[in-house]
Chain A
Amino acid sequence: TAGITQAPTSQILAAGRSMTLRCTQDMRHNAMYWYRQDLGLGLRLIHYSNTAGTTGKGEVPDGYSVSRANTDDFPLTLASAVPSQTSVYFCASSLALNTGELFFGEGSRLTVL
């Protein structure tokens, strides 16, 4: 079973360029999330979506945007990348926003030079 699929697995990006990280789930989960993982800081929530058509800001939303056009896809866009956005990005989903286990993808490693 696929679960959560993220792409690309890794990317090197020049500062100032834009980038979209893709996330697709096949579990028909209503809620989806984007986290960034930095050493010693754990995982920090960037944006989330309760259901298709709605999104919300997490703990560290600045410099990132998301959209949720349908249930399965939740892309994360960096409009103008900066070196501080170098991180590993994880997409996750859950049955609903207020219940259940988070299922994570395998991550996208982004390096901004």
Chain B
Amino acid sequence: GENVEQHPSTLSVQEGDSAVIKCTYSDSASNYFPWYKQELGKGPQLIIDIRSNVGEKKDQRIAVTLNKTAKHFSLHITETQPEDSAVYFCAASPHNAGNMLTFGGGTRLMVKP
């Protein structure tokens, strides 16, 4: 089955700096890669996703890049703000498995004012 590794487990940045979270996956058949943000006491919420037919996707201050050859994908947050502080999860899903996601272990991002 799929295995998703996520690094780092914790990340502390100064407000205004960029943050990068990296994930690797094992199943070359995976073709859907979402990122979820979980605020304290809440359930995860989708912030961005990418499919294997594109290499990069942006949405304002967040972007995701995908390298299918190396089987890794990354989340980039620019101009970080205190409200970006949360736990972020990457996930992967094999072809035709849709929402049968395998999640990474999570990254706790702390943005210091």
Confirm or deny: A81 has a beta carbon within 8 angstroms of a beta carbon on chain B.
no
Q: Are B43 and A42 in touch, CB under 8 angstroms?
A: no
- On chain B, the residues within 8 Å of A90 by CB distance are 43-44
A42 touches B6 (CB 8 A): yes
B44 to chain A minimum Cβ distance, whole angstroms, is 5
Do B103 and A102 have beta carbons less than 8 Å apart? no
Query: In the bound complex, how far is the Cα of B36 from the Cα of A6, in angstroms?
Result: 19
| B1 at the binding interface (Cβ < 8 Å) | yes
Q: How far is the CA of A48 from the CA of B98 in the complex (A)?
A: 12
Q: What are the residues of chain A within 8 A of B9 when measuring CB–CB?
A: 40
- Pair B98/A102 contact, Cβ less than 8 Å: no
Is the pair A40, B45 in contact by a Cβ cutoff of 8 Å? no
Query: Which of B1, B98, B105 makes the CB contact (< 8 A) with A59?
Result: B1
B42 contacts A45, C-beta separation under 8 Å: no
Name the one of A31, A59, A99, A107 contacting B43, with C-beta atoms under 8 angstroms.
A107
**Out of A4, A98, A107, which one reaches B99, CB within 8 Å?**
A98
**By the criterion CB–CB under 8 Å, are A104 and B43 in contact?**
yes
Known: A40-B9, A42-B106, A43-B89. A106 touches B41 (CB 8 A): yes
Residues B45 and A42 in contact, CB atoms below 8 Å apart? no
- A96: chain B residues within 8 A (beta carbon): 98
When C-beta atoms are compared, the residue in chain A nearest to B46 turns out to be A101
Please report the C-alpha to C-alpha distance between residue A100 and residue B34 in the assembled complex, in whole angstroms: 10
Do the beta carbons of B98 and A99 come within 8 Å of each other? yes
User: B41 to A33, Cβ gap below 8 A?
Assistant: no
Nearest-Cβ distance from residue A29 to partner chain B, whole angstroms: 11
Extra 17 A-B pairs, beta carbons < 8 Å, given A107-B41, A107-B43? A4-B43, A31-B99, A41-B105, A42-B89, A42-B105, A43-B44, A44-B103, A48-B99, A48-B100, A58-B100, A97-B99, A98-B99, A102-B44, A102-B46, A104-B44, A106-B41, A107-B42
In order of increasing CB-CB distance, the 10 nearest A-B pairs are A104-B43, A98-B98, A42-B103, A43-B103, A101-B46, A42-B105, A40-B105, A94-B99, A104-B44, A106-B43
